[in-house]
Structure 1
Amino acid sequence: MSREVLSPPVQTMSQNRRYRVNVVHEDFGGDKWNGQNNRAKGANGTYQEPDLYGDDDDDEDDPAASNIEETPNGDFKLALHVPKSFYGGLIGMKGSTKRRIEEETRCEIYVPRQNEKSNAVIVRAKQRSQVCAALRQIRHLLASLRKKMKPTHFLAVALNSGKVQEHYVELKKSILEAQLPGIDEELFISERCIHLTLGVYVLLDDDERQRALNELEFCRQFLADLKTPFDVKVKGLEIMNDDPSSTRVLYGRIVSPDLQKFADKCLAHFQTTGLCATDNNDRESIKLHMTLMNNRYRKEAMKSGNSFDAREILKRFGDFDFGSAQCQAVHLCVLKSRGEDEFYKISGSLEF
């Protein structure tokens, strides 16, 4: 039996690792492969590992990559903004996650303590490509952590005024007067909070909230070919699931082609920012709707069950006409909040 099979050549790599060299016969490109193996040897005869982190153009698409600086001693450094809510996940159990990223990318990572004012994670390495590799891993980790977090903000079109609000109050009164089984006032949204939702986000600090407002302003360009203010018509009732006898959400149907186009373009743009809640990342289009009743509004939702029977409501009021409204602004609102006017607290707006 060939000696090369029983005792194949071995190449020594870093950290005392040794690997067998598979010699390829020349009929199968052996000269090419064996030549590459020979060229991989360093001056001292040991195998030199290739740079796994160089020439990765994807990293340059990350705006943070442009902030990588070369220090006076020739190292490379990046100060990366990371909300404090992510620190625990970035460090990991007893520092395991941070240590793994450092070992795989050959970087040093400094995560500020919770009581420090700075929220910049510092990444240092000998090569710029190594900093880029660490940046890529940190981005993937933060995206994974964000998916597990509850939404904090949403984009809204307020409909809490004019004819739409008046007709909603009329409908609510009619439904309650009908005294339908399992239907009570707690199921209804407040008339001061009626709105359309254009997107839901996880914004964890002031920097992320300001960034979201900047991205919203960027969406102004999508209005160029659309007629504003948007005309929003609300007519008809629908439910979110297929069983009206056991539903959780009943809403008013929206007809507004231009607003739909704008909402979908905003969705596509925000999906590239990394700020979206999980539900938004999985969507291709925004379902415009005006929520009227939601089982989650009930304070005793667990005792009352997770759904309500909407069959009689749909039968009696399915074609209800709320009228029309003019949409002149999109607001970035805080979930589960109330402002001075009893609408949601508004962090900022895109007016048109």
Structure 2
Amino acid sequence: MSAANFFDFSDKEVMLPQIKEINGMYYRFHPVTEAKDVEKESASRARNVTSLAESEADLSSEERDILRRLRKDPKDNTYRIVLTKENIPSILFPMMIGKGGQAKRSIEDETKARIVFPRDQEKNTSIEIYSYDSIQLIMCRRKLLQSAHNARMRVPFTHFACFPVLSDATAASFNRFRDDVMKKCGGTRGLSTDLFQTSNKLHLTISTLALFSPPEYDLAFETLQNCFADELWELLDQGPLRCRLRGLEIMNDDPAEVDVLYAKVVDPTDRLQTIADQIYENYMHSEPRFSQDKFDGLKHVKLHVTLINSRYRKGTELGEDDLDLLSVAAKATARKTFDASSILQHFGQYDFGECVVNEIHISQRFSTGENGFYKCKRKLILDPKALKNHLQQRDATSTVKISSDRMYNDEPTCEVGNDDEFADER
């Protein structure tokens, strides 16, 4: 493909050019399509725009390594970088492109590079970047990765790491609690049976996650396993992880305007708390792109079991088939609180009994599995001997290869841009 065609602009840009006032006169500025002019302007921008890197010295070590591996295509004198789908999930593309392509054009204008997003119907889901200038190509990549990170942080969490509470005795106790509350406080403003959690889905949340593909499930699970590699498994060798669910609390300060009411967790040995804190910390620092928890300075995970949640209200709840970004965001803002004053007064010290925790799940939000609990994407059995043996075998043989540098990494595939056709941008 020729360089002249490479920087072709749309009819809309030609028919609606940028208008600028100079000395009281208005001029229309049309996009440049001549390859030599674009290349000249690209080089000029690399020298003059102080917000971007101006030389290899301004790049990170990773970016310098990518720069050294770049090769210019002799056909059209351009460089190309391909960002694979494992780097940037396609679900983030709409936010990165922006309304009317505005966000994408902003990066292109600033770096004088061309960004090509795949079309919906294409099997290829890689983002391609082209530029005449290698430094600006790297800067465009940097801005795209930052854009992807920002998009991730705007996405409601899709999964969560948790300790399931699957005891029959606890489920029966919860059902009695629900029935007693509705008999005693059924006329309370905003309270209805659909706000109660399902007895089969009781759990202690450790960390909320945004995961979009099987490779991401695997890497999140590997991060979970790695928490136990540094002798954390020894805590499991001290016997079963027991805790007690006793007493009620709310997530806000006003008991008359409540969204979430939960059972407090009594952890006499602090082992459950230590494990939860370590897992949370590992996600925050090892895989921050996955973690949707915004409490980077949090000292301890707040161990609790949600019992009543206004998000479960009929008509505002979400199912797994509903899980798109707009649905979650819209329904999250449509919550109607309930008055928990009477519940706290009559049931504030309710004792749900003791339960044993023996698994950690990476569960899918808004889903239901065959056993009535959330669909489990990955499961870690908290058996000390089995866990220790597995970790030792994995480290010794390196047979557990959940991801590779090429498969999952912020490192793009750098290739010569010599294709005859480029995908149309979305």
Does the CA-based 8 Å contact 2:67-2:134 persist in structure 1?
Answer: no
Q: 1:70 to 1:188 in 2, by over 3 A?
A: same
**Residues 1:226 and 1:105: Cα distance change in structure 2 (over 3 Å):** farther
Determine the structure 2 residue equivalent to 1:265.
278
2:198 aligned with 1:190: yes
CA separation of 1:305 and 1:349: change in aligned 2, threshold 3 A: closer
Residues 250-270 of structure 1 deviation map (CA, whole Å, 9 limit, x = unaligned): 111013322222222222332
Q: Is the 8 A contact 2:185 2:343 kept in 1?
A: no
Counterpart of 1:214, as a letter, is E
- Secondary structure of the residue aligned to 2:201 is coil
Going from structure 1 to structure 2, the CA distance change for 1:106 and 1:261 (only over 3 Å counts) comes to: farther
The aligned residue for residue 24 of structure 1 is: none
What does residue 330 of structure 1 align with?
360
Corresponding residue of 2:291: 276
Q: Which amino acid aligns with 2:205?
A: T
Unpaired runs of 5+ residues, structure 2, are: 1-39, 317-330, 383-426
1:73-92 paired onto structure 2 within 5 Å? 73=73, 75=79, 77-81=81-85, 82-92=88-98
Question: After superposition, what is the alpha-carbon deviation per residue over 1:83-141, rounded to whole angstroms, capped at 9, x for unaligned?
Answer: 22222233334544334334434544332211111222223456765444223211211
Corresponding residue number in structure 2 for 1:60: 62
Q: Using a 3 Å threshold, how does the CA distance of structure 1 residues 316 and 161 change in structure 2: closer, same or farther?
A: same
Larger radius of gyration: 1
Q: What RMSD in Å do the two structures reach over aligned CA positions?
A: 3.7
Indicate the structure whose relative CO is greater, using CA pairs within 8 Å and at least 6 residues apart. Answer: 2
Q: Is structure 2 residue 325 aligned with structure 1 residue 321?
A: no
Distance in structure 1 (CA, Å) of the matches to 2:143 and 2:252: 38
Distance in 1 (alpha carbons) for counterparts of 2:227 and 2:273: 14
For 1:325 and 1:184, the matched residues in 2 are separated by: 27
Q: CA deviation at 1:190?
A: 0.9
Matching residue's letter, 1:227: L
Measured in 2, the distance between the counterparts of 1:326 and 1:193 equals: 15
Deviates more, 1:211-220 or 1:134-143: 211-220
| Contact 1:244 1:310 (C-alpha < 8 Å) held by counterparts | yes
Distance 1:216 1:225, change over 3 A: closer
Query: Cα offset for 1:200?
Result: 1.3
- Work out whether 1:139 is the aligned partner of 2:152: no
1:47–1:126 Cα change, 3 Å: closer
- Tell me the matched-pair count: 309
Tell me the equivalent position of 1:247.
258
Name the counterpart of 2:388.
none
In the aligned structure 1, how far is the partner of 2:128 from the partner of 2:49? 29
Per-residue Cα deviation, 1:4-30 (whole angstroms, up to 9, x for no partner): xxxxxxxxxx75999xxxxxxxxxxxx
Give TM-score, length-normalised by structure 1: 0.74
Give yes or no for contact 2:241–2:357 (8 Å, CA) kept in 1.
yes
Q: Secondary structure at the match of 2:146?
A: helix
Amino acid at match of 1:265: Q
Give the aligned partner of residue 223 of structure 2.
Answer: 215
Cα distance in structure 2, aligned partners of 1:86 and 1:300: 27
Distance 2:275 2:104 in 1: 40
Give the 3-state SS of the residue equivalent to 1:200 in structure 2.
strand
Q: Which amino acid aligns with 1:173?
A: D
Which of 139, 150, 165 does residue 171 from structure 2 map onto? 165
SS at match of 2:244: strand
Structure 1 residues 56 and 175, CA gap change in structure 2 (3 angstroms): same
Going from structure 1 to structure 2, the CA distance change for 1:332 and 1:48 (only over 3 Å counts) comes to closer
Maintained 8 Å contact 1:69/1:78: no
